[in-house]
Chain A
Amino acid sequence: MLEQQSVFTTIKKNRLAVTGLIIVSLFFLVAVLAPVIAPYDYREINVQEMLVPPGLKHLCGTDDLGRDIFSRMLWGARISLAVGFVAVGISTLIGILVGSLAGYYGRWIDSVIMRFVDIMLCFPTFFLILTVIAFVGPSIWNIMIIIGLTSWMGVARLVRAEFLSLKQREYVLAARASGASDARIIFLHILPNAMAPVFVSAILGVGAAVLLESALSFLGLGVQPPVPSWGNILTEGKANIEIAWWISLFPGLAILITVLGYNLLGEGLRDALDPRFKK
């Protein structure tokens, strides 16, 4: 285990990770403060001001109903990030649970679980997500849950691997010898020590989920308008891209920068936490 202090200094040294952290915090702030910063109500329709180019009145222009893109993007940050966080929360929880069961108990439980992981890994995830969403309907909750339910396998494998190596450690054996319950050993003794890679993969996962939501939106199965997400603002702009490039450009950039932020932060953390990459 690395000391908190050293992780922090490594991150600080890693300029990419710092950039990532700044981007992530910035967007987080924007999402939280959306109602305060947004110059207009994101729902406000004005058919007299359709497709106004970016300018002083509308920083990022307006869409084909005369709504202010900038305000919609701010609110969209909330939605997109919410999708990212909740989906990753779900997948991480499932991954931890499944992975620790498999890793801790081993034997047939491990075999059954890992076979199931194999099965899930065989499916083209995006195809699966599309299928299920097309069937249950693309509400924001469904999207979060389904992305979560189909992307836990990586975490499960990570946790399992950590458990396999950690459960033979002396402090675990000692805890077991002193009669601690399985749950106690799993959650209090092993898990905290297995969390570092999980944390990294969760951060990377948020970026991936934001991208996934935008791809779903592109196919019309993402968060449904008029609730704005970056993906659906972008997609709504697609039809008018030649006469109103701003509708698609800004949310596309927002997605790019956010995902970039999470990836930089995630990779930076990985470098910091993984002793092999220390110079």
Chain B
Amino acid sequence: MKHVPLLFALHIFILLFHSGSIAADEPAYGDALIVGSIGEPSNLIPMLASDRPSHDVSGLVYQGLVKYDTDLSLIGDLARSWDITDDGLSITFHLREDVQWEDGTPFTAEDVLYGFNTICDPATPTAYAGDYLQVKKAEVLDSHTFKVTYDKPFAPALGSWGNIVVLPRHLLEEKKITESSLSRKPIGLGPFTFRTWAPGEKIVLDANPTYYDGRPYLNQYIIRFIPDQGTMFLELQSGAIDYMPLTPMQYTRQTQTDYFKNNYNKYKYPSFTYTYLGFNLKHPWFQDKRVRQAIAHAVNKQELIDGVLLGLGREATGPFVPGTWPYNPDVQKHPFNPDRARSLLAEAGWTDTDGDGVLDRDGRPFEFTIHTNMGNPLRLKTATIIQWRLEKIGIKIDIRVLEWATFLNEFLDKRRFHAVIMGWGIGLDPDQYDIWHSSKTAERELNFITYKNQEVDELLEKGRRIFDIKKRKKIYNRFQEILAEEVPYIFLYVPYALPIIHNRFKNIQPTPIGISYNLEKWYVPADRQKHRLLP
């Protein structure tokens, strides 16, 4: 039973009474979507921000030359089409002529070149320069033709021309990008335009009437910042927000009431992330493959999926998401088998000689620490279950949850850790050179587990220089086989994304890339619209 809130001074929500005469599901303009967000954006110039909330907002205001289609292929966005030379070394983008910035200025190739130059400028504090530094030459051929040339074939090239690089040159030129007001008040060309930002409270976006693909149906897109997932859920329940990501517990146990069934739609689809237990391969204990395999046998992935994700996720077997083209399902698995784990450990010299319940070798007990970052309850639960399981085969685990910066700087970067539970977000291009190549093991680089395998190195080098998907697939299949056999990480699970949305919003279609790709096509039938256009 849901009590209707008795707001004593609010008359802003003008509820239209149901009248049978209006056709129920006709697309109609109007209403606002209120989204809950844990984090607040830091900077709305895409190349200056590396946090998710910033990109969620700037992604609606800016567009890229290309974007991913629902089947994960690249299609044109601001680029109408493109030509790639046969050697794959240069791409010529033909840009749309009918696009204009929010202030009426036409969008041209100069905007792309400006963005490219800015991102490559050493004075720009950006985390995304890597892909663009591969470019040898970028040039404007005419007002709507843009050409880039690479030194060597670079497979992720095309995909990199997303919305990070396109900026309104006429508003930014001659100024330092870090001092631009655009970081707080973006002026874009996407489906929505920026209206206000009340720090700590909300950001309001309006439909862009001049959006090249047609004005979105929704009048407004409002992001409310609610730092706590529990509070956010309460807000959802009270009807104050329409759209939020659910935790597995909220998805399975807390949204089963009639109220939720009658008012909300829940979705679930695999997210492009995986969670893993990674070993520091510089530590002598973990250099022995048998030890890593033993631990893999001691971890019950299904139990993690049941206990942490409540079944809302899939087993991970490698660094790719099941269902995407590079994913290889036929790799060696290490099924849950504590006896096998014990015998592998015994082979490696670990036995409980002193009978204290903890394995030992050369008089030293098998005791190590798992580090993970703060603020992610699912990872902590994962660590807790793994701790419990490993204790049963005689390995004693401490868990340390660390604040993110400390975690990176003091532990990960300095290699002062035994094992970590972390997650990677997976890009749509399978290139994982930075994470697995043996040249990326220096302090602060991303192969922080110090994984070194010559064959993997060769595969990674080859993989990023080839465009042919079939050939690439073969390379990455082999890459996954090696990882599965060597267990530098125990790939744990791929969680589902679990958004919930008020059911007055129509035309939401889950696809492999999620649901929000066609936000501008979402609508609320006229008779169900809740929020009137606010002044």
Contacts and interface: CB of A to CB of B under 8 A. Distances in A.
Contacts of A51: 253
A50 interface: yes
Interface in B276-314: 303, 306-307
Of B229, B247, B403, B406, most buried by chain A (CB within 10 Å of CB) is: B403
B164 to A, nearest CB: 31
Nearest to B310: A50
B375 A220 contact: yes
A50 B307 contact: yes
Nearest to A225: B380
Nearest to B300: A47
Interface string B400-441: 111100100000000000000000000000000000000000
A239 B247 contact: yes
Contacts of B399: 224-226
Contacts of A43: 387-388, 391
A199 B391 CA distance: 43
A45 interface: yes
Contacts of A240: 249, 253-254
Contacts of B391: 43
B230 A241 contact: yes
B384 A243 contact: no
A35 to B, nearest CB: 16
B254 A243 contact: yes
Contacts of B388: 43-45
Contact of B387 (A137, A220, A226): A226
B384 A65 contact: yes
B239 interface: no
A256 interface: no
B385 interface: yes
A64 interface: yes
B74 interface: no
A37 interface: no
Contacts of A138: 401
A256 B444 CA distance: 46
A226 B254 contact: no
Contact of A45 (B228, B230, B307): B307
B471 interface: no
Nearest to B234: A242
A199 B388 CA distance: 42
Contacts of A47: 303, 306-307, 385
Nearest to A134: B403
Interface in A219-267: 220, 224-226, 236, 238-243
B379 to A, nearest CB: 12
Interface in B98-129: none
B200 interface: no
B381 interface: yes
Given A50-B307, A242-B254, A64 B249 contact: yes
B335 interface: no
B385 A65 contact: yes
A240 B249 CA distance: 8
Interface string B367-384: 000000011010011001
Contacts of A242: 254
B433 to A, nearest CB: 32
A45 B384 contact: yes
A243 B237 CA distance: 13
Nearest to A139: B400
Interface in A14-73: 43-45, 47, 50-51, 64-66
A108 interface: no
Contact of A137 (B247, B303, B384, B403): B403
Given A43-B388, A65-B307, A137 B406 contact: yes
A220 B381 contact: no
A135 interface: yes
Contacts of A64: 249, 381
Contact of B374 (A44, A220, A236, A243): A220
Nearest to B406: A137
A242 B403 CA distance: 28
Nearest to B410: A137
A52 to B, nearest CB: 13
A183 B381 CA distance: 53
Nearest to A244: B253
A65 B378 CA distance: 11
Given A225-B380, A225-B384, A226-B387, A238 B230 contact: yes
Contacts of B387: 43, 226
Contacts of B403: 134-135, 137
Given A137-B403, A224-B400, A65 B381 contact: yes
Contacts of B247: 239
Contacts of B400: 137, 139, 224
Contacts of B303: 47
B450 to A, nearest CB: 24
Contact of B406 (A50, A135, A220, A236): A135
A15 to B, nearest CB: 40
Contact of A224 (B229, B401, B406): B401
B420 to A, nearest CB: 15
A138 B402 CA distance: 8
Contacts of A243: 249, 253-254
A47 B400 CA distance: 22
B315 to A, nearest CB: 15
A163 B444 CA distance: 55
B229 to A, nearest CB: 6
A224 to B, nearest CB: 5
Nearest to B237: A242
Contacts of B384: 45, 65, 225-226
Contacts of B249: 64, 239-240, 243
B237 to A, nearest CB: 8
Contacts of B402: 137
Contacts of B306: 47
Contacts of A224: 399-401
A47 B305 CA distance: 10
A109 B385 CA distance: 55
A224 B387 CA distance: 14
A221 to B, nearest CB: 8
B395 to A, nearest CB: 14
A62 to B, nearest CB: 12
Interface string B194-211: 000000000000000000
A51 B374 CA distance: 23
Interface in B219-234: 228-230
Given A239-B249, A240-B253, A243-B249, 20 more contacts: A43-B387, A43-B388, A44-B388, A47-B385, A50-B307, A51-B253, A64-B381, A65-B384, A135-B406, A138-B401, A139-B400, A224-B399, A224-B400, A225-B399, A239-B247, A240-B249, A241-B230, A242-B254, A243-B253, A243-B254
19 contacts: A43-B387, A43-B391, A44-B388, A45-B384, A47-B307, A64-B381, A66-B307, A134-B403, A135-B403, A135-B406, A137-B402, A225-B384, A236-B377, A239-B230, A239-B377, A240-B249, A240-B253, A240-B254, A241-B230
Please list the 7 inter-chain residue pairs (A to B) with the smallest Cβ-Cβ separation, ordered nearest first: A47-B307, A239-B230, A45-B388, A226-B384, A224-B401, A47-B306, A238-B230
